[in-house]
Structure 1
Amino acid sequence: MNPEIPEERKYIEELTQEYIYLCEELDYKEKYKVKGKDIYNREEISEIGIEFKNLYTAKRLLKRIKLLYEAIQEEITRIAVQHYLENNEKLTIYNCFKNKRNYFYILELESFYRFINILQEEEPVGEYERQYIQKEYRSSISFIIRKQIPTANLFDFRPYNYTDSQYYLDKIPTVEQILSGEYKYY
């Protein structure tokens, strides 16, 4: 995922667009709905249901995670070749611990492998697990893009601004504004 290579830059832009999509569809009022009585009413225990407007199906989420998993594998291979050319030694787990940039990709690869196994189980994944995996997927996208393009403002991206109990939609930036660092939250 080298931003200088046009095909890989396009993939980074697609990931950024997906991150924007996942963030902007999460409406604050819909995210934390209370089922049953009020939280402070002690007569009945309330359940807080986390709801996503655009919850991916398990099949779509599996497809997207597999795609990112393969991209990370290619990135690790590229890093291993680059490490061999620079240091004339093979990239090992021990070498990865020395360089946190390399180790980061192995940790992400491991978590995606776990998510792929969960989503591929014969027993259908429950809604809560799917939401959790989707949130982790969104979070991983932001970290991976931030590693590739340090100027990207994904951590600052907030599609909704909250003031007291009211919220309003902030202007949704373009992919180029986020990747170039032009987007400012405040």
Structure 2
Amino acid sequence: MNPEIPEERKYIEELTQEYIYLCEELSSKERYKVEKKDIYNKGETSEIKIVSKNLYTAKRLLKRIKVLYKAIQEEITRIAVQYYLKNNKKLTIYNCFKSNKYYFYFQESEQLSRFINILQEEEPVGKYKRQYIQKSYRSSISFIIRKQILIANLFELRPYSHTDSQHYFDKIPTVEQLISGEYKYY
């Protein structure tokens, strides 16, 4: 995922657009009703916040995570080749964790691999687990883009604050504003 290569830059922009989409779906006003006793209030029903209004289906989430996982694997291969060209040594199990970039992508790929295994299980994944995986997927996108483009301001995007604001659509940025670091949330 090198931003200087046009095809890979396009993929980074698509990831950023997906990140914006996932963030725009947030809502802190809606809640699920749960028919259990609440531990703290001792009431008959308790409420759980909905983090995402429109959850991805398990199939769509699996597809998107697999695409990101493949891109990370390609990046890990690129890091190994760069390490070999720079140090004239192969990246092995003994020296690979000295490379911060490799270690970062290794951790992200490990997490995505776990999510792929969960989503591929025979029994369907429930809403809450899918919501958790989708939220983690969104965080992974943010970290990966910030690792590739250091000036990207993805953490500045706070769309859940836009809903309560009088400037609802004024502050939602474009992909280019986020990637170039021009967007500031105030």
Same fold (TM over 0.5): yes
- TM-superposed deviation, 1:98: 1.3
Say whether 1:101 aligns with 2:98: no
Q: Which runs of 4+ in 1 moved over 6 A?
A: none
Q: Superposed, which structure 2 residues align to 1:22-33 within 5 Å?
A: 22-30=22-30, 33=31
Aligned to 1:140: 140
Say whether 1:175 aligns with 2:168: no
Q: 2:102 & 2:34 partners in 1: Cα distance?
A: 48
Q: 2:34 & 2:12 partners in 1: Cα distance?
A: 42
What TM-score do the two structures reach when normalised by structure 1? 0.90
Q: 1:156 & 1:21 partners in 2: Cα distance?
A: 15
Say whether 1:54 aligns with 2:54: yes
8 Å CA contact 2:153–2:183 kept in 1: the answer is yes
Aligned residues: 181
Q: What amino acid is aligned across from residue 27 of structure 2 in structure 1?
A: D
- TM-superposed deviation, 1:147: 0.1
8 Å CA contact 1:115–1:133 kept in 2: the answer is yes
Q: 2:34 & 2:147 partners in 1: Cα distance?
A: 43
Say whether 1:35 aligns with 2:42: no
Q: 2:83 & 2:73 partners in 1: Cα distance?
A: 15
- TM-superposed deviation, 1:100: 1.5
Question: How much identity, in percent, do the aligned residues show?
Answer: 76
Q: Which has the higher contact order (CA 8 A, sep 6+)?
A: 2
- Structure 2 unaligned residues grouped into runs of 5+: none
8 Å CA contact 2:22–2:138 kept in 1: the answer is yes
Q: What amino acid is aligned across from residue 172 of structure 1 in structure 2?
A: I
Q: What amino acid is aligned across from residue 167 of structure 1 in structure 2?
A: D
Q: Select the structure that is richer in strand.
A: 1
8 Å CA contact 2:154–2:178 kept in 1: the answer is yes
Q: 2:173 & 2:17 partners in 1: Cα distance?
A: 10
What TM-score do the two structures reach when normalised by structure 2? 0.90
Of the structure 1 ranges 121-130 and 89-98, higher mean CA displacement relative to structure 2 is found in: 89-98
Cα RMSD between the aligned structures? 2.1
Provide Cα deviations, 1:76-121, integer angstroms capped at 9, x if missing partner: 0011111101101111233232122210000111111110010001
